[in-house]
């Protein structure tokens, strides 16, 4: 076995090679989310405040979580409006994500599993892809790995400092993607379960829960107070109503569209064979629900002169009312959304424009998507085997289980873009690696 220092050098080198594939082959694209992040960051760096306005007056916004725009703003302020500096820093963050993945795997399993998991993560082009996008996934994934590492260290040492560190990281996660705000509940539930199982002393449980809650609230409160002062709400962002309304719009999808979606989610080749003129191929049709939701929000805020929080509340109430009228169809569609999340490696859409310019674009994209979908299922199968072989260590990976269940469930209820499952890839790789080692060990017996 090579020395650990040499391994770390190889790990960092491999991660940078993976990122460089995308840096040199694909151009930086500023569309939708990336354009908003960029606009807010430019305004922050230019002392115009947290605003997505492209010209004066720079009206404040709470449409985006603050961590990633401030991260970009810091780089723009230091180095100018240079995207390649951002990509370089995100490449470093990706390398450290691979390193933390190694440490998480070592805490749960063994040195061999940890080394392989770290290298597989570094070689994962899906994850490396996000390092060259002006999107929050690279930072979010790093924080996610750090959160799990701190929680595992707490379980093994029962030192309250790890609880405080976990709370701070979770606060940063919630202010990177608001979906993590409610993960406080699974964390506290996990601590209580471990106490009931005798893995954590009851003496430290109450202290841990109090410290976790206080530190989380302490780091969330400044941003919440800002939103309360400017917008009249303690919420982190205002996207909940629009997202839920867009999801409710899908309830009008026909049964034929649902069949097409199910087949295309499994295989684009089969989808094109059986449904060559499927609506699922029409991007305008797919995005109609999102456009309707955004139009409704603009109508409420501009024509009806409601505040953002008021419009958001009305849209949530309207969406929930529609869902309550058709709960069975909503749950069935949510299963289809989870089906997409299970194909977590399938994210060539980030580079769709460049791939479409290729002379073999149709064959290339269909083959790539099919391969990545099959690979995703293979990794999930190995990950399940890893959990089975190492079930006796459940107390060390219970928070990973809660995290995967929580993110998959929450995203399935709204929109199951494989991009939203990508931050879970390091944990899938860890357990898939453990599963592979477990299978080999069983065959050797």
- Report pLDDT digits (tens) over 367-384: 777 788 888 999 999 999
pLDDT for position 187: 97
326 has pLDDT over 80: yes
Nearby residues of 175 by Cβ (< 8 Å), 6 or more positions away: 65, 66, 67, 220, 223, 236
- Report pLDDT digits (tens) over 279-289: 555 555 556 77
Query: Whole-angstrom Cα distance, residue 279 to residue 14?
Result: 40
pTM of the model: 0.92
- Report pLDDT digits (tens) over 29-77: 776 788 999 999 999 999 999 999 888 888 999 989 999 999 999 999 9
Q: Where are the domains of the chain?
A: 4-237+326-444, 238-325
* pLDDT band for position 210 (cuts 50, 70, 90): very high
355 has pLDDT over 90: no
- Closest listed residue to residue 432, CA positions, set 408, 399, 400, 392: 400
Token readout for 262 is 């199910």
Token readout for 272 is 């094109």
Look over the chain and give the mean of its residue pLDDT values, rounded to a whole number: 88
> CA angle, corner 241, sides to 216 and 407, nearest 5?
50
């Amino acid at each position: 076995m090579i020395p650990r220092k040499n391994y770390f050098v190889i790990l960092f080198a491999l991660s940078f090679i993976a990122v460089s594939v995308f840096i040199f082959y694909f151009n930086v694209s500023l569309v939708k989310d990336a354009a908003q992040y960029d606009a807010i960051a430019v305004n922050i760096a230019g002392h115009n405040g947290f605003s997505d306005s492209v010209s004066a007056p720079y009206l404040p916004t709470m449409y985006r979580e603050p961590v990633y725009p401030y991260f970009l703003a810091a780089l723009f302020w230091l180095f100018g409006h240079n995207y390649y500096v951002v990509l370089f820093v995100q490449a470093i963050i990706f390398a450290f994500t691979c390193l933390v993945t190694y440490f998480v795997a070592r805490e749960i399993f063994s040195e061999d599993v940890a080394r392989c998991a770290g290298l597989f993560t570094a070689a994962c082009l899906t994850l490396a892809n996000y390092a060259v996008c002006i999107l929050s996934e690279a930072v979010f994934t790093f924080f996610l790995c750090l959160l799990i590492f701190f929680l595992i260290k707490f379980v093994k040492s029962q030192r309250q400092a790890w609880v405080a560190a976990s709370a701070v990281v979770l606060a940063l996660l919630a202010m990177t993607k608001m979906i993590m705000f409610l993960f406080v509940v699974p964390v506290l539930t996990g601590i209580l379960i471990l106490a009931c199982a005798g893995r954590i002393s009851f003496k430290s449980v109450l202290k841990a829960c109090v410290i976790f809650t206080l530190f989380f609230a302490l780091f969330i409160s400044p941003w919440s107070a800002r939103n309360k002062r400017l917008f009249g709400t303690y919420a982190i962002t205002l996207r909940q109503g629009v997202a839920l309304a867009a999801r409710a719009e899908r309830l009008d999808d026909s049964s034929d569209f649902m069949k097409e979606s199910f087949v295309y989610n499994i295989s684009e080749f089969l989808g094109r064979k059986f449904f060559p003129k499927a609506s699922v191929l029409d991007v305008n049709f797919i995005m109609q629900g999102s456009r309707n939701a955004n139009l409704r929000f603009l109508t409420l805020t501009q024509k009806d002169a409601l505040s953002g929080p008021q419009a958001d509340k009305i849209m949530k109430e309207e969406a929930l009312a529609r869902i309550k009228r058709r709960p069975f169809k909503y749950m069935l569609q949510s299963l289809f959304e989870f089906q997409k999340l299970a194909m977590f490696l399938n994210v060539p859409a980030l580079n769709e424009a460049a791939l479409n310019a290729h002379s073999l674009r149709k064959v290339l994209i269909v083959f790539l998507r099919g391969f990545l979908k099959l690979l995703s299922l293979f990794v999930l199968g190995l990950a399940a085997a890893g959990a089975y072989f190492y079930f006796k260590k459940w107390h060390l990976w219970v928070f990973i289980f809660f995290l995967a269940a929580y993110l998959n469930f929450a995203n399935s209820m709204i929109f199951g873009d494989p991009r939203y499952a990508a931050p879970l890839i390091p944990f899938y790789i860890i357990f898939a690696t453990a599963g592979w080692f477990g299978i080999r060990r069983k065959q050797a017996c």
